[in-house]
């Protein structure tokens, strides 16, 4: 049966003046299989969508081409218009005449717009519907970690009615904030009590994850708790395993020790300090190792201020830059300066040596243009921020990439930072890098929203067999299993006992990598089949 194609063209509020739309309309109407052409200025708005829906219904259209902006932005809106008219949303092809045509060139681009529409029409003929199906998911969530991010997520998820297991490898909860709470006014106690008191939070301390199998909605996790091994199933897993810090001696002639210390050690000293033995001069060094020195900046500003207030020492901060992009950091910086903390800017790492029981710091001040020598009783050294021990093993067992510094890599740093490449597995807080409390809280909100949306109803709707293996053609070479970035393919036996690759509709992200690489051409990606792509190419240059 011949396709009955409707073409809906949008000039996007007349923002494509280099296309002659009346000529486009006239020529598109003559393309074979096109039965109606509509021109609009606001196709993605409610009014435009309604017109599109009624036109599809009235004219019995069974294939749709939208010539408008990039499908990245509005394809889902147009698919909805098709669904409203009773047509499968996948019988749509979008010709991007805005970003890939009108906005990309100067001068008249009418011919190129026509070409893109012709290609889309020819491809649309071959599109097949993709049905949706509903699958059950386990509502349970595993939160790995027991620090600030993990506690907040577990409490919020449990308040939303999702049974949550909190798994911490240490014997107590609290993570890094336990050591810092008095210093920064945080109280871990109420947070831990809220988690311990929640009916649907199961807390496992001194526990670790040994194995994760399965897919989003039903992960099977093997856990070791003390000498015992247990297996449980969860719909989603949230990793909030934080980071570690390390003062290294490689850049110092002196080893970290009595008077070269970490921020954490300083915080403890400040809490325990008696008026006796206060250091007279304290130097802070930071922002030489790492571009993202968020936590060292916050810790330096808070601690420098606290030293002024508690010890009244002379305080010098030696750094490349003070980056005040964290909430409250600008205010802290001002306060520190008002209290007499001296900030000096350097490009080169300062040289540190021993000086009669004290520490000599030498560097060239950028603004003075002169060498500066500082004799300190105490130097707070810069710390490296590292992924926690075991991150490499965990990323290997989860098949999830880490970034160049060894932290878990975001799926999409701008749009979806807490997601991983495996659907249903999330990373939040310190284990994504140098995050302060406010950013960790933003991660918590994001993951709670995502997990709730995913699991709260106990069901998810997925596209059925959008990417599908033809068992007749598959030779079980395993290539697709190795390359799938979402771990969505496994080997399964057919009824004839042949082993073939099988794609999980739940875990597949429809990226198309497997279909492109399969040497036996056994994988069909609906919407991007070879025939559909060739049909687009054939339409190039057609009259």
Ligand X SMILES: Cc1cc2nc3c(=O)[nH]c(=O)nc-3n(C[C@H](O)[C@H](O)[C@H](O)COP(=O)(O)OP(=O)(O)OC[C@H]3O[C@@H](n4cnc5c(N)ncnc54)[C@H](O)[C@@H]3O)c2cc1C
Q: Which 352-391 positions form the footprint of ligand SF4 (CB under 6 A)?
A: none
Site for ligand SF4 (CB under 6 A): how many residues? Answer: 26
- Sign of the dihedral through C-alpha 516, 520, 526, 532: positive
Instruction: Choose among ligand SF4, ligand X, none what residue 176 binds, the Cβ cut-off being 5 to 8 Å by kind.
Output: ligand X
* Sole binder of ligand X in the list 53, 110, 122, 241 (CB under 6 A): 241
216 sits near ligand SF4 (criterion: CB under 6 A) = no
Instruction: Choose among ligand X, ligand SF4, none what residue 377 binds, the Cβ cut-off being 5 to 8 Å by kind.
Output: none
CB 4 within 8 A of CB 33: yes
CB 246 within 8 A of CB 384: yes
Residues near 87 by beta carbon (within 8 Å), at least 6 away in sequence:
56, 61, 62, 64
Distance CA(305)–CA(303), nearest Å, equals 5
Full 3-state SS string of 222-249: EEEECCEEEEEEECEEEECCCCEEECCC
* Sole binder of ligand SF4 in the list 484, 506, 535, 539 (CB under 6 A): 484
CA 100 to mean position of chain CA atoms? 27
DSSP string, 468-497: EE-TTT-----HHHHH-TT--EEEEE-TTS
Q: Which 243-262 positions form the footprint of ligand X (CB under 6 A)?
A: 243, 245
Mask 5-24, x = binds ligand X (CB under 6 A)?
--------------------
297 sits near ligand X (criterion: CB under 6 A) = no
Instruction: Choose among ligand SF4, ligand X, none what residue 238 binds, the Cβ cut-off being 5 to 8 Å by kind.
Output: none
Instruction: Name 314's bridge partners.
Output: 281
Instruction: Choose among ligand SF4, ligand X, none what residue 299 binds, the Cβ cut-off being 5 to 8 Å by kind.
Output: ligand X
Closest CB to ligand SF4 among 261 and 488?
488
CA distances in angstroms from 490 to 41, 260, 265, 523, listed in the order given: 47, 53, 49, 13
CB of 442 to ligand X, least distance (A): 11
Mask 151-190, x = binds ligand X (CB under 6 A)?
----------------xxxx----xxx--x---x------
400 sits near ligand SF4 (criterion: CB under 6 A) = no
479 sits near ligand SF4 (criterion: CB under 6 A) = yes
Instruction: Choose among ligand X, ligand SF4, none what residue 304 binds, the Cβ cut-off being 5 to 8 Å by kind.
Output: none
Stretch that binds ligand X, among 76-84, 365-373, 388-396, 400-408 (CB under 6 A): 388-396
CB of 206 to ligand SF4, least distance (A): 36
- Which token pair is 400? 């999830």
Residues listed for the chain: 543
Distance CA(423)–CA(398), nearest Å, equals 11
Instruction: Choose among ligand SF4, ligand X, none what residue 395 binds, the Cβ cut-off being 5 to 8 Å by kind.
Output: none
* Sole binder of ligand X in the list 6, 424, 429, 527 (CB under 6 A): 429
3-state secondary structure of 317: strand
Instruction: Choose among ligand X, ligand SF4, none what residue 489 binds, the Cβ cut-off being 5 to 8 Å by kind.
Output: ligand SF4
CB 4 within 8 A of CB 62: yes
Instruction: Choose among ligand SF4, ligand X, none what residue 436 binds, the Cβ cut-off being 5 to 8 Å by kind.
Output: ligand X
Q: What is the DSSP letter of 377?
A: S
Residues near 338 by beta carbon (within 8 Å), at least 6 away in sequence:
none
Instruction: Name 202's bridge partners.
Output: 165
Closest CB to ligand SF4 among 262 and 409?
409
435 sits near ligand X (criterion: CB under 6 A) = yes
- Which token pair is 223? 């856990």
299 sits near ligand X (criterion: CB under 6 A) = yes
Helices (H) and strands (E) in the chain, counts: 15, 28
Q: Going edge to edge, which strands form the sheet with 141-144?
A: 201-204, 164-167, 141-144, 236-239, 425-427
Site for ligand X (CB under 6 A): how many residues? Answer: 37
Interface residues with ligand X (CB under 6 A) are: 144-150, 167-170, 175-177, 180, 184, 208, 240-243, 245, 263-264, 295, 298-299, 302, 388, 390, 394, 429-430, 435-437, 440
Interface residues with ligand SF4 (CB under 6 A) are: 467, 469, 474-480, 484, 486, 488-489, 501, 503, 508-514, 518, 520, 522-523
């Amino acid at each position: 049966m011949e396709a009955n194609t409707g073409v809906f063209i949008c000039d996007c509020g007349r923002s494509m003046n280099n296309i002659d739309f009346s000529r486009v309309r006239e020529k598109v109407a003559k393309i074979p299989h096109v039965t109606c052409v509509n021109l609009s200025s606001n196709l993605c708005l409610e009014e435009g969508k309604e017109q599109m829906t009624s036109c599809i219904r009235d004219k019995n259209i069974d294939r749709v081409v939208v010539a408008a902006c990039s499908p990245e932005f509005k394809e889902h809106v147009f698919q909805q218009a098709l669904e409203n008219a009773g047509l499968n949303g996948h019988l749509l092809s979008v010709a991007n005449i805005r970003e890939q045509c009108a906005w990309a060139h100067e001068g008249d681009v009418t011919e190129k717009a026509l070409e893109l529409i012709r290609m889309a029409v020819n491809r649309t003929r071959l599109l097949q519907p993709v049905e949706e199906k509903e699958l059950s998911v386990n509502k349970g969530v595993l939160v790995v970690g027991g620090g600030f991010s993990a506690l907040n997520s577990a409490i919020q998820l449990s308040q939303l009615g999702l049974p949550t297991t909190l798994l911490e490898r240490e014997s107590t909860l609290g993570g890094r904030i336990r050591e810092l709470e008095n210093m920064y006014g945080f109280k871990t106690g109420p947070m831990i009590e809220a988690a311990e008191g929640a009916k649907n939070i199961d807390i496992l301390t001194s526990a670790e994850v040994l194995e994760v199998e399965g897919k989003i909605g039903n992960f099977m996790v093997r856990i070791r708790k003390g000498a015992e091994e247990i297996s449980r199933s969860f719909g989603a897993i949230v990793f909030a395993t934080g980071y570690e810090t390390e003062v290294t001696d490689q850049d110092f002639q002196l080893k970290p020790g009595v008077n070269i210390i970490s921020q954490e050690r300083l915080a403890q000293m400040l809490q325990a300090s008696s008026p006796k033995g206060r250091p007279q001069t304290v130097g802070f060094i930071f922002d030489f190792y790492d571009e993202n020195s968020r936590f060292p900046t916050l810790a330096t500003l808070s601690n420098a201020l606290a030293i002024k207030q508690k010890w009244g020492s002379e305080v010098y901060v030696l750094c490349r830059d003070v980056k005040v992009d964290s909430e409250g950091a600008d205010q802290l910086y001002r306060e520190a300066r008002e209290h007499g903390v001296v900030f000096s800017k350097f490009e080169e790492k300062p040289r540190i040596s021993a000086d009669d029981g004290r520490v000599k710091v030498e560097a060239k001040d950028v603004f003075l243009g002169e060498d500066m020598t500082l004799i300190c009783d105490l130097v707070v050294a810069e710390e490296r921020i590292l992924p926690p021990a075991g991150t490499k093993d965990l990323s290997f067992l989860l098949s999830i990439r880490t970034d160049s510094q060894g932290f878990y890599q975001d799926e999409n740093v701008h749009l979806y930072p807490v997601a991983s490449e495996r659907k249903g597995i999330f990373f939040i807080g310190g284990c994504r890098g140098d995050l302060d409390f406010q950013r960790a809280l933003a991660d918590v909100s994001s993951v709670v929203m995502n997990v709730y949306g995913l699991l709260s109803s106990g069901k998810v709707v997925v596209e059925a067999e959008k990417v599908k293996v033809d068992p007749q053609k598959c030779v079980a070479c395993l290539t697709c299993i190795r390359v799938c970035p979402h771990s969505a393919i496994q080997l399964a036996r057919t009824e004839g006992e042949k082993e073939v690759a099988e794609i999980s509709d739940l875990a597949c992200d429809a990226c198309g990598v497997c279909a492109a690489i399969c040497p036996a051409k056994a994988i069909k990606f609906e919407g991007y089949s070879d025939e559909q792509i060739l049909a687009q190419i054939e339409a190039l240059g057609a009259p």
